[in-house]
């Protein structure tokens, strides 16, 4: 029995003036100047509101938010093991259900949100998330993606953009590019593989404005397990001045490198249409050249990334989501 009968009803936030003013993740944390992952924390809990319990896997958003015996969280928050984003969500949801069944706590809708980094969720914790997305619990898993294992000083993960310099992929004299993996397509992979999961989305906390807040609300009100992948410009690891972290997110989305979409009951809805070049899709160069981690890329490298992005939007069966092309021919 899911608690779905007591789903919280949220209003759609129609503009910035309707965003709730109160904070539930507040000032006094040790994140970098201009950290967009901190903005993800702040916004998801603003959208969800105070009747929420949160778990967070090891990573920047754990370490920087627990400065020895102090915390910026106002809602109950728990640290969980790196890779345990999915299982901690299931554990919390199951615990709440059991407590309510035994009448130890009042019957009430309490949101369960578990967040994890791109390493903790997209690489290490993938199986746990897959397990969680096959349960009947109401829970939301947010993978905040700063494109590296940032907390341990910026190592490449399965979600780091091709060509980026990281501690694992330093620029060499012989090998210029040490990171040659294309970004893992986590959100779409989870949507395709988990038919019971009714809501999967990608988002960028500050662009377009209000979008991420509404995606969190949709995920929480649709019922069952849900998943959101956020792209978070990281001034430290991407090497740009903290002043421009909004700019970088916006450029990443507008260049088409970071596709924004929702998959609601199997229907793909694009948040930002990057199919048209020009006003819709700006050249990736405008995004790449504004980050020190790409300073070593040559013209050919940039052209290669541009080709890959163009292909993603122009040739994929479901642009930005699924790269397959299928033919159903029975061989004679």
Ligand X SMILES: Cc1ncc(C[n+]2csc(CCOP(=O)(O)OP(=O)(O)O)c2C)c(N)n1
Contact call for residue 293 and another protein (CB under 8 A): yes
Torsion sign, CA atoms 62, 67, 68, 73 = negative
From candidates 206, 226, 255, 271, binder to another protein by CB under 8 A: 206
Beta strands 199-203; 139-145: pairing state: unpaired
Binding mask 231-250 for ligand SF4 (x = CB under 6 A): ---xxxx-------------
CB of 190 to ligand SF4, least distance (A): 22
Q: Which of residues 69-98 bind ligand X (CB under 6 A)?
A: 82
Contact call for residue 150 and Mg ion (CB under 5 A): yes
Strands (E), 183-276: 199-203, 225-231, 261-264, 267-270
From candidates 3, 80, 151, 157, binder to another protein by CB under 8 A: 151
Mapped onto helix, strand or coil, the DSSP state of residue 143 is strand
List of long-range contacts for 184-187, beta carbons under 8 Å, 24+ apart: 184/122, 184/123, 184/158, 184/159, 185/321, 185/323, 186/118, 186/121, 186/122, 186/126, 186/143, 186/159, 186/229, 187/143, 187/227, 187/228, 187/229, 187/263
Distance from C-alpha of 39 to C-alpha of 68, rounded to nearest angstrom: 21
Contact call for residue 31 and ligand SF4 (CB under 6 A): yes
Q: Which of residues 19-38 bind another protein (CB under 8 A)?
A: 19, 21-36, 38
Strands (E), 233-274: 261-264, 267-270
Distance from C-alpha of 186 to C-alpha of 277, rounded to nearest angstrom: 25
Contact call for residue 59 and ligand X (CB under 6 A): yes
Nearer to another protein, 210 or 312 (CB): 210
The partner in contact with residue 247, picked from Mg ion, ligand X, another protein, none with C-beta cut-offs of 5 to 8 angstroms by kind, is: another protein
- What are the backbone dihedrals phi and psi of residue 106, each rounded to the nearest 5 degrees, phi first? -60, 150
Contact call for residue 288 and another protein (CB under 8 A): no
Contact call for residue 69 and another protein (CB under 8 A): yes
Structure tokens at 19: 């965003």
Beta strands 111-117; 139-145: pairing state: parallel
From candidates 45, 48, 64, 143, binder to another protein by CB under 8 A: 64
From candidates 73, 168, 304, 316, binder to another protein by CB under 8 A: 73
Contact call for residue 285 and another protein (CB under 8 A): no
Binding mask 98-117 for Mg ion (x = CB under 5 A): -------------------x
- The contact set with another protein (CB under 8 A) reads 16-17, 19, 21-36, 38-39, 42, 50, 60, 63-64, 66-77, 151-154, 165, 206, 209, 235-237, 239-247, 290-293, 295
- The contact set with ligand SF4 (CB under 6 A) reads 31-32, 35, 37, 60, 64, 146, 150, 234-237
């Amino acid at each position: 029995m899911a608690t779905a009968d007591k789903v919280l009803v949220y209003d759609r936030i129609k503009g910035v003036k309707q965003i709730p003013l109160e904070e539930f993740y507040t000032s006094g944390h040790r994140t970098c100047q201009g950290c967009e992952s901190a903005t993800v924390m702040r916004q998801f809990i603003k959208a969800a509101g105070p009747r929420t319990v949160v778990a967070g896997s090891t990573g920047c958003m754990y370490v920087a938010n627990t400065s020895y015996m102090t915390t910026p969280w106002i809602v109950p928050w728990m640290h969980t093991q790196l890779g345990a984003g999915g299982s901690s969500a299931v554990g919390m949801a199951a615990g709440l259900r059991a407590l309510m069944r035994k009448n130890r706590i009042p019957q009430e809708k309490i949101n369960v949100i578990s967040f994890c980094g791109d390493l903790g969720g997209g690489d290490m914790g993938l199986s746990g998330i897959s397990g969680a997305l096959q349960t009947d619990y109401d829970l939301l898993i947010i993978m905040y993606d700063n494109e590296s294992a940032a907390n341990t000083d910026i190592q490449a993960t399965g979600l780091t953009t091709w060509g980026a310099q990281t501690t694992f992929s330093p620029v060499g004299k012989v090998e210029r590019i040490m990171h040659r993996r294309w970004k893992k397509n986590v959100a779409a992979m989870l949507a395709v593989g988990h038919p019971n999961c009714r809501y999967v989305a990608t988002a960028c906390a500050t662009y377009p404005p209000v979008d991420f807040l509404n995606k969190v609300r949709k995920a929480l009100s649709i019922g069952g397990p849900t998943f959101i992948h956020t792209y978070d410009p990281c001034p430290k690891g991407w090497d740009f001045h903290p002043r421009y972290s909004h700019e970088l997110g916006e450029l990443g989305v507008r260049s088409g490198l970071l596709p924004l979409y929702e998959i609601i009951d199997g229907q793909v809805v694009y948040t930002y249409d990057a199919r048209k070049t020009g006003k819709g899709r700006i050249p990736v160069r405008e995004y790449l050249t504004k980050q020190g981690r790409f300073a070593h890329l040559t013209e050919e490298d940039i052209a290669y990334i541009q080709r890959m992005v163009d292909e993603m939007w122009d040739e994929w069966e479901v642009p930005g989501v699924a790269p397959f092309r299928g033919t159903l021919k029975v061989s004679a």
